[in-house]
Amino acid sequence: MIDIAVLCVFAFAAGLIDAAVGGGGLIQIPALF
């Protein structure tokens, strides 16, 4: 359950970076693996 919460945080942070910079995919995809 903790791992899922961490992935959600990474996905949310990547979404914010993607909205601000436009390169969130470069962070979100590696975080899932």
Residue range 3-23, pLDDT digits in tens:
888 888 888 887 777 666 665
Q: How many CB atoms lie within 10 A of CB 14?
A: 20
Yes or no: say if 14 and 1 are a contact pair by the CB < 8 Å rule. Answer: no
Q: Does pTM surpass 0.75?
A: no
For position 33, what pLDDT does the model report? 62
For position 29, what pLDDT does the model report? 62
Count of the separate structural domains present in the chain? 1
Cα separation, 21 vs 4, whole angstroms: 25
Averaged confidence pLDDT in the chain: 71
Structural domain containing residue 14: 2-31
Distance between the two ends of the chain, CA-based, in angstroms?
Answer: 16
Cα separation, 14 vs 30, whole angstroms: 11
